[in-house]
Amino acid sequence: MPAKRKKPLKKRTSSKKSAAKKKSFMGRLGRFIKKIIMLSLIFGTIIFSLYTFYLNNIIKNQFEGRRWSIPAKVYARSLEVYPGLKITVNQFEKELKLAAYRKDRQASTEGSFSKNGQRIELVTRHFNFPDGEETSHKLRIQFNRSGISSIYDHEQGRKLSLVRLDPALIGSIHPKLHEDRLLLSENDIPQKLKNTLLAVEDRNFYQHYGIDPKGIARAMWTNIRAGSAIQGGSTLTQQLVKNYFLTQERTLVRKFNEAIMSLLLEYHYSKDEILTAYINEVYLGQDGRRAIHGFALASEYYFKRPISQLSQPQVALLVGLVKGPSYYNPRNNTQRAIKRRNTVLKVMLDQGVVEQNQYQKAIKTNLGISRRWSLNSSPFPAFLDSVKNQLQENYNQDDLTDKGLKIFTTLNPQVQWAAENALASQIKSVGTKRGQHLQGAVVVSHRDSAEILAIVGGKNSQEGDFNRAINARRPIGSLIKPAIYLTAIEQGYTLSSLLNDKEFSAKSVKGKLWKPKNFDKKEHGLVPLHVSLAKSYNLSTARLGMEIGVDKVLNTVRSLGVETDALPYPAVLLGSLTLSPIQVSQMYQTLADQGFYSPLHTILSVQDENNETLQQYPVRVERRINESAAYVINANLQEVVSMGTGKGLSRYIPSHYNIAGKTGTTNELRDSWFAGFGNNLIGVVWMGRDDNKPAGLTGSSGALKVWGKMMKQLDVGILDQNQPENIKWFWIDSMNQLKLTGRCNNAEFLPFIKGSEPEKTQSCTSGEYFEKNKVNWLERLFN
């Protein structure tokens, strides 16, 4: 028998082994995959947890504490209204409009007024001043030719002697992002706004946990039925997360982050906190570079009303803007905005938030948008520059742009407008050819308080490109002369001292020969000191300055409040010293206050966002100049206006106002200056060209006219100096250095510091003296 074959058995054995090996391999592979999956899940969980922890930290760090950067708000002075106030009904109306009051047919709500002839009905706003709270008043203010004649309070049923209006907001100091908002607390949010917002944007807000799948599905179905996108799928929480923490980019990563952060936000904070944050955060428009955020500011921006005073259609419009502030901008796209507002109202009707009759009435109303009101740029940029300069002495930039400070300033709108109008009028009068390159600057301050009331930085007062009042340093010409003569008076000279007005030369910079000239190119021989200043003679002034010392003159300039490192060259005596108009203002402020130095300032006080006063700026007073010497020089400056280079001022200001002032003109008529003061106001005016070419104006033909036109509109005050006890007035014959017993034909009535008057006395009744001096010497000199 043939032997049995065993190969098939081997095959079967081999197959079993292969199957076993394969099964073992698959088992190992399965276990490996399970391990990989488990490790991946563990690792993914760790990564997800860490990433969630990271997002959680972002929320907690950014959302707790101060959530927004609130710009500092800058206010003008508050207008105190009382019977007898010299203000016309039109000027008063202009003040109200500057303060964003609404002109209605009938004044019924805060911030509204109506005008009927010489009567204004007004509802003032509640306001927290640094010195206390001012409640709202419903007033009737009656005017006559002199100003305000009576103030009647409708609610109290009686006449008032004084009421204070809330100040006009004249600017703000924004952070780099230029975001602006007015914050509402949870209790400040009108229920009307909550109902409208939730009906349109998130009806299940109080039921979901940050994301709402049902809401997404419902929004998709509603939009499909409507044929357009009228509802969004994102919850308010998601929108807040996107606006506050994330960017607007449309990526899966951003949507993932948005979902996780929405859940976290809902975990940490209450629904009402989230809703309040959304209402304050949402972007609702653009005012130039300034972004309008939050419903409170949007209400003021579009309607000039606080959010609490808005009607249902107005609230619906603001809620409608959430979808697209630019696309539905009611100022640029009226019909589109109406359509969007009505869509919002229809959603509210469908959800039973409003009744059918309310809906029908609402869709028929107009938008009620106010005239454009912008704080993108201040209406008074030059003044705002000065405010910022003063603030930087005590606050860093973050304080000014983040913490919602309230800055109360000294700006007086009436003075500011008068200054702007006077400068514009004078430049216009020069003519188109010369006037197109002509520029100017004005600074006005209060004599007693050193408060700056107005600053004009250029002929286009609302352009903030270059502030000439602060930054333009120009030769001041003869405006330096009072400092020279003041120095001389302090050294023992008197107004009757004789000066030599003859040509001379002196070595100046680098050995060059300095040869001053009079404006009229003439010499005048011996002249009394007071005549030299009144007539602004250069030769006698320069000789006097050289005699008393140029360094002494510069020290006097510094004592008057001007910081300068100018070297004591002879040319300084005739105005080569370069100063800005605001520096000149400080110099004349000290003169006007009879030697008391008070730093010029634009800020009264600073409050924080909780209306707590952080800082006040009281008047600081320091005696810098001898009172009697200052009195004598100011009397001489009154003579400048009454009989000297400033006598043209009488065309604008009556002579009995006794204004003190000084004209200034530089070489080739490049700069025209006038500085002057009455009892209440001090004003400095500069005119010239930015390219430093001749302007063709003297101090009296340019700047003086601006000063006169401006002060004619204001209460400059009749100047009445406080006469020190050691000042006495005498009739003097300066040419003969005699003290006269009466008003002789050639007599000059001059003030002297006691003991400095001429020693010799002459009687007017002396026949020889009378015949010798029967021609009125003073009249001959000034005519």
Annotated catalytic residue within 234, 299, 461, 478 = 478
> Nearest Cα to 489, choosing from 682, 316, 370, 626?
626
Q: How far apart are CA 274 and CA 666, in angstroms?
A: 65
Report the alpha-carbon distance of residue 776 to residue 783 in Å, rounded.
11
Tell me if 519 sits within 8 A of 501, measured CB to CB: no
Whether 478 is catalytic: yes
CA distance 122 to 315: 25
Rounded Cα distance, 490 and 614, in Å = 42
d(CA 299, CA 463): 27
Distance (Å) of CA 517 to CA 265, 501, 701: 80, 10, 20
CA distance 16 to 725: 133
Q: Which of 121, 201, 420, 639 is catalytic?
A: 201
In the three-class reduction of DSSP (H, G, I as helix; E, B as strand; rest coil), residue 248 is classed as coil
Residues 6+ apart with CB under 8 A from 375: 169, 171, 172, 180, 287, 290
355 is known as an active-site residue: no
Using alpha carbons, list the distances in angstroms from residue 87 to 90, 357, 475. 8, 47, 37
Within the chain, how many helices (H) and strands (E) appear? Answer: 25, 35
**What's 309's DSSP letter?**
G
The total number of residues written for the chain in this structure: 783
**The one-letter amino acid at 554:** L
Residue 47 burial (10 A CB sphere; 0-12, 13-18, 19+)? exposed
| DSSP 3-state of 615 | strand
8 A C-beta contact, residue 233 and residue 202: no
DSSP 8-state code for residue 263: H
CA distance linking residue 735 with residue 746, whole number of Å: 10
CB-based contact 210:265 (threshold 8 Å): yes
Q: Tell the burial category of 132 from Cβ atoms under 10 Å away from its Cβ (0-12, 13-18, 19+).
A: exposed
Q: How far apart are CA 227 and CA 195, in angstroms?
A: 25
- Residues in contact with 372: Cβ distance below 8 Å, sequence separation at least 6, in sequence order: 331
CA–CA distance, 541 with 295 (Å, rounded to integer): 65
Bridge partners (DSSP) listed for residue 439: 688
Q: How far is CA 566 from CA 485, 509, 663, in A?
A: 19, 13, 22
DSSP 667-709: GGG-EEEEEEE-SSEEEEEEEEETT-------TTTTHHHHHHH
In terms of phi and psi (left: phi > 0; alpha: psi -120 to 50; beta: otherwise), the region of 70 is beta
Strand segments, DSSP code E, in 50-118 are: 72-75, 80-81, 102-103, 112-116
Separation of alpha carbons 419 and 711, rounded Å: 8
Active site residues: 201, 478
